[in-house]
Structure 1
Amino acid sequence: MSKKFLVLALIAGASFQSFAQTQKKAAPVAAATEVMPVDPAVKIGKLPNGLTYYIRKNAEPKNRAVLFMAVKAGSLMETDAQQGLAHFAEHMSFNGTKDFPKNELINYLQKAGVKFGADLNAYTGFDQTVYQLPIPTDSVALFHNGFKILANWAGYVTMDDSEIDAERGIIVEEERARGKNAQSRMQKELLPVLLKGSRYENRLPIGKLEVIQSFPKEEMRNFYKDWYRPNLQGVIAVGDFDPVEVEKLIKENFGPLKNPANPKPAVAYTLPDNPTPLYKLVTDVEFPYHVAMVMMRHKGATTKTVADARKNMVVSMINNMLTARLNEIKQKGNAPFLEAQFSSGPYQGGMIPGTDATSVVAVSKNAEEMSSALKAVMAEVERMAQFGFTAPELEVMKKNIEAGNEKGYLERDKTPSASYVQQYLKNFLTGSAITSADYRYELNKKLLSTITLAEVNAAAKALTKQQNVAIIIQAPEKDKAKMPTEAQVLATIKDAAKGLTPYVDNTVNKPLLEKQPVAGKIVSEEKLQGLDVTKLKFSNGVTVLLKPTTFRNDQIQFASFGAGGTSLADDKLVEVVGYTGNIGSDGIGDFDNTQLRKLLAGNTANVAPYISDLHQGFNGGASPKDLETALQLVYAYATNPRKDQAAFKQNMDDFRVMLTNKNVTPEAAYKDTMNAVFTSYAEREKTPEVADLQKISLDKSFEFYKDRFSDASGQTFVFVGNFDVEKIKPLLATYLGGLPSTGRNEQYIDRGIRPLPGKVEKTVRRGIEDKASVQLTFHGKFDYSVENNLQLNALSDILEFKVLERLREKESGVYTPNVGFSASKLPTPYYSISISFNCATANVDKLVAAALDEVELLKKNGATETDVEKFKAETQRAQELNLRENGYWLSYLTSKYRNGDDPLSLLTFNERLKLVTPASVKATAEKYLSGSNFVRGVLVPEK
């Protein structure tokens, strides 16, 4: 059983973007009160009609551009009769425009290799609607049409009556797919507290279902005409193109757009103060945890000046240093909380401009320990406020920020276009600064050298000022009576400040490795022609594959594998050694995780050992300058793992809580059932119960871990990135060639874990909402080969085209049906193709029948030429991007050598792609969608 991190949907809201900031070219660093200069590499202009545009030439990725069209309008602009229509307007933009009727827009782009959902997409927030279109630039006609598409969204959506009516059901299903759960139910109770007295409280972007299902069509058109206007719109274009030509295209396509004669004012809404603390206890029968959140709201500011940048850096330091302290408490094994979080930043992810908040979260192990958990976390916040941080803590943080600053600067000419687009989008929407990489690099260096401990500690104290306080308690319904009262919670927060002492640093001052390994020797070397891969064999049996690239300036990634894994543990011992996968995350030797983090401050090296079913090995990476440290970590994890009794106790406590609550959510019960079906109820694959924890032994898990890494003779390492093969050979010889080796020549054991054969139907009845989840899976043995894999991939993608068109567009019964394909070679070749979707309970049988009807039609008629054209275009375009990514090459080479396949098969990819035809898809469907091995799994509510 591996350590799982709790993912808590604590407070729900709209989806917000994270904005990367990476540019180049700079002006001198400004004084603290001055506005930071705009990066001269971006062209910012405004048309006579008020539309703003941003243009930047950028060659990463090559022959690609990212186009955005943003509207400063969202759900806040809706009238009571229009609630949900901002989001509805976004949907309608894909259902017919002046130049692209009906679904022609999506069809046109798919044929060009632009994938709907993954590439072509949009989102709606409270005060913004944003459309994104990554598009190739090596086709002049396609690239030019990209701007026509954006302009069609901006002002020429047709809003056809029949399309509006068809889309109503799809949006209802979107709300069902994303909501109808404990999170959405609790959200409805929390919003009146979190957004009390503001317009945000009653304007969630999804809207009201009663409005969506019945609004007069003219309301839709009115909203579009009122708010989709050029003086509220921005166009962003970044990519491998001629900026002069792009500016001309923007003027041609967007210049004719006109503003309404009497435009409605765009009002900026705020959140009023609350002088007394707001409090809310909310429970739900399907919520599995006990959570307390304390929020202290304060005034925020858009980042425009050097002073703003300085404040942001200080706050980031505080967030990370206090988070490190909370993690350290958990590492010690006696934490009174299950999880703890601290963060200061934009309130609710930036939902309300100009509003920041400090948030403190405590997750307790049960209802009885809620007060002690909250007190422990608040005590750390108060300890920070009273005594501040220590000089060593700040030194660690500065080293880490400095390392990130250096890395970002070294990668400045490899920054992907999507990163620039996000920064310009934020500038358009909020007015935040657009700085160059050179300016930012020098500014960060200056800030790091001048930020003092006293300044950080003063800011930390200010961030914890208890004003505009909101306290949220969330718990399972069954424990409602056991939860502390409002008075008790307030008393707990007050008491947390009493009797505190300063934090004591626990740095261990010793080297990572006590002595250097005895280096091994290279016994063979060969070149893999056509792929620029060098293969080395060391005297201890370790194999190393090296692929130098120039895709990134400051990145090396690596992975390794050796046969064995947990398959070598007998069925009766699987639970006994069930902690093995966590040993590597508990530290190294004398260093616990906290001490290891401090030792590696400023170092980009990261390494994680793993033990899977069939293999064990390492995943990691580093900047070229830190590669030696990464290799030292590999050696240390293999030869000197940490046996941490405190961490073991804490993790067992965490597991106990998670397992106790695991079946509270309907999805967890459904997942357990499906897992049992797909493993034929194998004992070693079952989801553990609380009683099973007693069988786990740290001693035996530790010994199993050591055994798995005691013989490196079967390990194969793959390195991809910016390195010189000859220069890194000595490092590889020392730390990989020096790994212990016994020459056991181990192999994994095939434990016979397979899905149940034949036709299987499982219906799980759990939950209280009208929401069903369906999974239809065809599976079986097959002849694993690159040819068959590609044909199965084509079948899966084309089936998804069909299912999407049938279930979403024709039936209006689902939001996002998915067809997934997997093929594995080890331990025995096996494939599966699954159709999955969420829908109304009453529609399950109808939609299952419709999905299976599309399967039968595909078997009978095969794919259309258009279907095949779309698949080939999307696959070809994706492959062009993949071939310039270190991560793709690492995954490709690792899988090929792990499976014993020919890595040179990549060179004939285009020839295999040509073999995908309507007839080949038909033959593949007949063979692999026969239904002889078929699982129908359905989750429906209890009533």
Structure 2
Amino acid sequence: MRSINKLFTFSVAIVIAVSGMVTAQTKVKSKASPASEIIPLDPAVRTGKLPNGFTYYIRKNVEPKNRVTLYLANKIGSIMENDDQLGLAHFMEHMGFNGTKNFPKNDLVNYLQKTGVRFGADLNAYTSFDETVYQLPIPSDDPEILKTGIQIMRDWAQDATLDDAEINKERGVVLEEKRLGKGAQQRMQDQYLPMIFNNSRYSNRLPIGTEEVLKNFTPATLRQFYSDWYRPDLQALIVVGDIDVAAMEQTIKAKFSDLKKPAKPRLRTKYSIPLLNKNQFIAVTDKEFPVSVAQIIIKHPESKLITKTDYRNSIVRSLFNQMLGARFADLSKQADPPFLQGGANISAFLAGLDNYSAFVAAKPGEMERGFKAVLTETERVQRFGFTQTELDRAKQSYLTNMESSFKEKDKTPSASFVNEYLRHFLEQEASPGIAYEFNLANTLTGGITLADLNGYSKKYITDVNRDVIIMGPEKDKANLPDEATIEKWISATKQSNVTAYVDQVSDKPLLASKLSGGKVISEAKTAEIGVTELKLSNGIKVILKPTDFKNDEISFTAFSPGGTSLYSDADFQSAAYATTIIRTGGVGEFNSVQLPKLLSGKRVSVNPYIAERSEGISGSTTPKDLETALQLTYLYFTAPRKDAETFKGLIAQQKGGLANRGNDPNSVFADSLSAVLGNYNVRRTGPSIEKLDQINLDRAFDIYKERFADASDFTFVFVGSFDPEKIKPLLEQYLGSLPSISRKEAAKDLGITIPAGKIDKKIYKGQEPKASVRLVFSGDYTYSEKHNNQLDALAEVLTIKLIERLREDEGGVYGVGARASYTKFPKGRYTFNISFGCAPENVEKLISSTLDEINKIRQNGALALDIEKFIAEETRSTETQIKNNGFWLGYLTNQYQNEEDPKQILTYLESLKELTPEFLKATVQYRLSDNFIRMVLLPEK
């Protein structure tokens, strides 16, 4: 279950964002408006409210076919907890999976696994400040499963058993979930959250709760919370999928009408974060935090999306964020960027508030420069606004995205509808349907002016209700700015000589002249899977898989043998960074600032790559923009751009990001794990400034040109909404024009394998009482569908057993999983990983339990029931995957690269029936034995 317990998320990008605060649809404040302006609910969804107050939403949708997604939404989260209940809203969410009236103890999870529903991946839930939501995607082609799914929702609504023994067992699981969130970010968050939440109730109601309450609450206290708040007037059932709407409505009425409201229901108080009409400041440091960060948060009253006026304002906000984001992207592409990362936008905050947020992740020792650079962009917008060319591009891009969504209106996945109706129930956000939105967007967007945008910036970028948060490594504490310094920087920027933005655009065409092209010289069809294989006159092989899964989507990839394996260790860093350098430099006549602007309004993404054993191109586009995507592909082969200025900026940013990497325990553990598994080969050890110094621009550029100098050994795979006959001329013109020198290449075997034997290594890093465990088995392997199935089945079966034992029985972990991977080239190898986090004092016990579960399979074989669960899960997931373009692109690419039969997918599910307990017993005996690596991250001694 994914519980929203870490309010703020940081990466090297370091953007503070409240989990669950920002919805997919931008919202703006609604004033009192005529009823005629209110946006109607999509008539395709049937809604109703039962006499007891229970709400329902039902919609028929066949994407995916024979599936239905069920959500039970409860307008109750941690904000309603009493002081002796801190964490119990989230704990109650857990208990929904630990026993209900019709599914005692763990029967619910067991039953659903047998129907093909994976625990955690499909069956899930989350808790936030204001809501708790249970989600269940299930098959709808089996009436009994569908009936049971509705019963599960009914049980969650009011029939959790809350058995004393199950409650006490779950304490350990929730405490381990809380342990996973501990670290530098959490320690710093504890200091700044009270300030940015203005010391409101939200400051001390984090969903994960407190250890004191989680360890000591009585079962009666949890039952009281459940009795008070799990009630029909605060609940809604959302059902979207391949179902009969009328029949489902009758089922809901029959099942949920008897939900009881308390005789004297507690008032569901709507709490808020009050605006204090003052500015605030805090600086926090931690020795494990890797970078210096500054964040400005300017809070404003919440926005809603209810009326047409609101919708117009939401478009303005979207355009504002898009244009401001583009300006910050330009800044990051300078030869000497003023920061590692920076940005700003207007978005939802929490509890009745929106915010304008600007952030900077500073280069080491350059906080002032980075902070002022962000402030300068804000000031530039305030003084001069945006340019007409910026606005025109943003409108074009916005309408292109709306058009794409409209074209996919009959292919929209059920999950998208469910999330819309969830927001409609919880936040009263309008949900009129894409046809209505598309028409409204086309009606309103053209009339939006620069004055609208400039007024918007002045409304949100103000000098009151402003919070400034400074974060950094403990060792840099003395050099971080205090409040007076920040105020001085803000004042200096306001008085500085800021100049108007100059929009750097080019009016040149992407390609200056028409290409001569080539010809298709042979064609073969694999009718069983709907694939056509072409051979072009320059040697390129093209695999075409037209589909009707999406109306406006084409995905493609290309690969050729070689990669970084063909270069020495001395050249490795230059080879590894070659495509990154090219992508940041632009292509052809267009630098990295001009190219995105040229492509504005088009849905085109094309990216070259050089991996260890191959090089190639990956891309996505639409039928309308396919020619542009192919032009870009041609240019990445023939006209890569070497830009010394952006190269300097790239290396400077990379070095800045690595400066304090050694402070972060997770990074240290990941680097150590990679080094051990790679036998300390220089290509497997972690990143470093010394390695960055080895990158040579000229050598990287030459390597890139070498890798893409010969297209004759490339294979292109296209999947999506196209007619093979109609796109042949484009393929002939652009792919047929790619250079061909007919060289024969093969990737080199570098001999890098996981070391044999037994290795036991402990890494001591970090101050929190938590450990990370990784167990790795490996060895030589005969790659085949049969062996792959056995390893995959063993990974899932062992995951099931470890969840049952380490989580449910012993309460020692929150999550645990086993994963298998295998390769055919350069030689057959397999890797079997088991990972979990836990308390340091439980490491040895839990490893022993893990090995014991492995040994049970080694001695007795797997349980037939667990194999049945794996087959059910694979069957159900395969049924939906084969209706997905991304699946086919990955599958076909993998099959052709590995020289395997692409028709294998047709017999895959049948091949799973060969799995037996004895097969998995033999797999454990053969695979999980001699070569065993134990690596554990522990707190510093």
SS at match of 2:207: coil
SS at match of 2:532: strand
Instruction: List per-residue Cα deviations over 1:479-513 (Å, max 9, x = no partner).
Output: 10111121011111121122111101110110111
1:429 to 417, 422, 426: 426
- The equivalent residue for 1:258 is 260
Instruction: List per-residue Cα deviations over 1:845-885 (Å, max 9, x = no partner).
Output: 11111101111111111111210111111010000000100
SS at match of 2:249: helix
Q: Which residues in structure 2 correspond to 1:412-561 (within 5 Å)?
A: 412-497=409-494, 498-561=496-559
Displacement after TM superposition at 1:578 (Å): 4.5
Displacement after TM superposition at 1:659 (Å): 2.2
Q: Confirm or deny that 1:112 pairs with 2:115.
A: yes
1:170 to 165, 170, 173: 173
CA contact (8 A) 2:13 2:361 kept: no
Displacement after TM superposition at 1:687 (Å): 2.2
Give the Cα–Cα distance (whole angstroms) in 2 for the partners of residues 626 and 507 of structure 1: 20
Amino acid in structure 1 at the alignment position of 2:497: G
Instruction: List per-residue Cα deviations over 1:128-178 (Å, max 9, x = no partner).
Output: 00000001111001001111100100000000000000011110000011x
TM-score (norm: length of structure 1)? 0.97
After superposition, the Cα gap between the structure-2 partners of 1:813 and 1:42, relative to the gap in structure 1 and judged at 3 Å, is same
Amino acid in structure 2 at the alignment position of 1:493: I
CA contact (8 A) 1:19 1:419 kept: no
CA contact (8 A) 1:298 1:467 kept: no
- The equivalent residue for 2:793 is 794
Q: Which residues in structure 2 correspond to 1:544-943 (within 5 Å)?
A: 544-586=542-584, 587-930=586-929, 932-943=930-941
Q: Confirm or deny that 1:85 pairs with 2:83.
A: no
CA contact (8 A) 1:19 1:426 kept: no
Displacement after TM superposition at 1:741 (Å): 0.8
Displacement after TM superposition at 1:17 (Å): 7.3
- The equivalent residue for 1:384 is 381
Give the Cα–Cα distance (whole angstroms) in 2 for the partners of residues 573 and 599 of structure 1: 34
Give the Cα–Cα distance (whole angstroms) in 1 for the partners of residues 816 and 14 of structure 2: 23
Amino acid in structure 2 at the alignment position of 1:464: I
Question: Which moves more between the two structures, 821-830 or 681-690?
Answer: 681-690
- The equivalent residue for 1:24 is none
Question: Which moves more between the two structures, 472-481 or 600-609?
Answer: 600-609
After superposition, the Cα gap between the structure-2 partners of 1:577 and 1:877, relative to the gap in structure 1 and judged at 3 Å, is closer
SS at match of 1:545: strand
Q: Confirm or deny that 1:142 pairs with 2:139.
A: no
CA contact (8 A) 2:158 2:231 kept: yes
Displacement after TM superposition at 1:10 (Å): 5.0
- The equivalent residue for 1:102 is 105
Give the Cα–Cα distance (whole angstroms) in 1 for the partners of residues 14 and 208 of structure 2: 18
Give the Cα–Cα distance (whole angstroms) in 2 for the partners of residues 684 and 300 of structure 1: 50
SS at match of 2:506: coil
Amino acid in structure 2 at the alignment position of 1:808: R
Q: Confirm or deny that 1:330 pairs with 2:332.
A: yes
Give the Cα–Cα distance (whole angstroms) in 2 for the partners of residues 383 and 571 of structure 1: 46
Give the Cα–Cα distance (whole angstroms) in 2 for the partners of residues 236 and 542 of structure 1: 49
Q: Percent identity?
A: 47
Give the Cα–Cα distance (whole angstroms) in 2 for the partners of residues 804 and 16 of structure 1: 31
Q: Confirm or deny that 1:130 pairs with 2:133.
A: yes
Displacement after TM superposition at 1:467 (Å): 2.0
Displacement after TM superposition at 1:277 (Å): 1.1
- The equivalent residue for 1:403 is 400
After superposition, the Cα gap between the structure-2 partners of 1:274 and 1:17, relative to the gap in structure 1 and judged at 3 Å, is closer
Instruction: List per-residue Cα deviations over 1:342-376 (Å, max 9, x = no partner).
Output: 110101xxx31x3100000011111x311121011
Amino acid in structure 2 at the alignment position of 1:708: R
Give the Cα–Cα distance (whole angstroms) in 1 for the partners of residues 53 and 208 of structure 2: 29
Amino acid in structure 2 at the alignment position of 1:253: K
- The equivalent residue for 2:270 is 268
CA contact (8 A) 1:14 1:204 kept: no
Alignment length (residue pairs): 924
What is the Cα-based RMSD across aligned positions, in Å?
A: 1.4
SS at match of 1:616: strand
Give the Cα–Cα distance (whole angstroms) in 2 for the partners of residues 408 and 233 of structure 1: 30
Give the Cα–Cα distance (whole angstroms) in 1 for the partners of residues 508 and 11 of structure 2: 33
- The equivalent residue for 1:42 is 45
Give the Cα–Cα distance (whole angstroms) in 1 for the partners of residues 762 and 888 of structure 2: 41
CA contact (8 A) 2:22 2:347 kept: no
Amino acid in structure 2 at the alignment position of 1:942: E
- The equivalent residue for 1:25 is none
2:64 to 61, 76, 87: 61
SS at match of 2:661: coil
Give the Cα–Cα distance (whole angstroms) in 1 for the partners of residues 232 and 169 of structure 2: 28
CA contact (8 A) 1:713 1:745 kept: no
After superposition, the Cα gap between the structure-2 partners of 1:20 and 1:801, relative to the gap in structure 1 and judged at 3 Å, is farther
Point out where structure 1 has 5 or more consecutive residues left out of the alignment: 22-29
Instruction: List per-residue Cα deviations over 1:256-282 (Å, max 9, x = no partner).
Output: 111001110000111112222110000
Displacement after TM superposition at 1:906 (Å): 1.2
- The equivalent residue for 2:226 is 224
Displacement after TM superposition at 1:16 (Å): 5.4
SS at match of 1:680: coil
- The equivalent residue for 1:26 is none
Amino acid in structure 2 at the alignment position of 1:758: G
Instruction: List per-residue Cα deviations over 1:564-595 (Å, max 9, x = no partner).
Output: 11111112221344431313322112212221
TM-score (norm: length of structure 2)? 0.97
Displacement after TM superposition at 1:692 (Å): 2.9
Instruction: List per-residue Cα deviations over 1:510-568 (Å, max 9, x = no partner).
Output: 01112222211111110013011000001111000001100000011101100111111
CA contact (8 A) 1:50 1:230 kept: yes
Give the Cα–Cα distance (whole angstroms) in 2 for the partners of residues 17 and 288 of structure 1: 26
SS at match of 1:344: strand
CA contact (8 A) 2:337 2:653 kept: no
Instruction: List per-residue Cα deviations over 1:21-61 (Å, max 9, x = no partner).
Output: 9xxxxxxxx99971111111111100010001001111111
SS at match of 1:196: coil
Instruction: List per-residue Cα deviations over 1:86-145 (Å, max 9, x = no partner).
Output: 001100110000000010000011000011111100000111000000011110010011
Give the Cα–Cα distance (whole angstroms) in 1 for the partners of residues 38 and 384 of structure 2: 34
Give the Cα–Cα distance (whole angstroms) in 2 for the partners of residues 478 and 537 of structure 1: 60
SS at match of 2:155: helix
After superposition, the Cα gap between the structure-2 partners of 1:468 and 1:32, relative to the gap in structure 1 and judged at 3 Å, is farther
After superposition, the Cα gap between the structure-2 partners of 1:16 and 1:835, relative to the gap in structure 1 and judged at 3 Å, is farther
Q: Confirm or deny that 1:364 pairs with 2:387.
A: no
SS at match of 1:575: helix
Amino acid in structure 2 at the alignment position of 1:593: S
Give the Cα–Cα distance (whole angstroms) in 1 for the partners of residues 307 and 908 of structure 2: 51
Question: Which moves more between the two structures, 792-801 or 430-439?
Answer: 430-439
Displacement after TM superposition at 1:914 (Å): 0.6
Displacement after TM superposition at 1:654 (Å): 1.1
Displacement after TM superposition at 1:197 (Å): 2.6
- The equivalent residue for 2:202 is 200
Instruction: List per-residue Cα deviations over 1:644-669 (Å, max 9, x = no partner).
Output: 11111111111111222111101111
SS at match of 2:625: helix
Point out where structure 2 has 5 or more consecutive residues left out of the alignment: 1-9, 27-32
SS at match of 1:593: coil
Displacement after TM superposition at 1:461 (Å): 2.1
Give the Cα–Cα distance (whole angstroms) in 1 for the partners of residues 24 and 424 of structure 2: 10
SS at match of 2:778: strand
